[in-house]
Amino acid sequence: MDRLGLSDLTRILRECAGEEEGVDLDGDVLDLNWMELGYDSLAFLQTVGHIEREYGVLLDEEALDEADTPRLFLTMVNEALAARAAV
C-alpha cells in the first residue's frame, strides 16, 4: 500500500484499541489530539505497531512525539511510505 487514508487509520484504531463512547471517528477528527479521541499512549503505540507491520514501514520514534493528531500522524506515515517507495 502506498498511502494511509483517514478511513484506514480509523479502522486500525478501532481494531487496536476500540472506540471511546461518545467519540465519532467517522466525524471531523483530523485535528483532534489522541486524548480527545480517547486514545492513550498505549493505544497509540499499538496502532503504530499495527501500521508498521501492515504497511511494511518503520516510523521515526522522535517524529511520533510530534504527531499528536490524526492529520499530523497521517502526514508522517505517508511521507515514510513515499520515501520507501522512492528507494
pLDDT in tens, 16-68: 999 888 888 998 999 999 999 999 999 999 999 999 999 999 999 999 999 99
- Confidence at residue 39, expressed as pLDDT on a 0 to 100 scale: 95
Regarding predicted confidence, which is higher, 86 or 10? 10
Place of cell 487514508: 5
- Confidence at residue 1, expressed as pLDDT on a 0 to 100 scale: 59
The three cell numbers locating residue 85: 517507495
State residue 81 phi and psi, 5-degree precision.
Answer: -65, -40
Cα 26 from chain centroid (whole Å): 14
The three cell numbers locating residue 66: 510530534
**What's the rounded mean pLDDT across residues 1-15?**
92
| pTM score, whole prediction | 0.92
Residues 6+ apart with CB under 8 A from 61: none
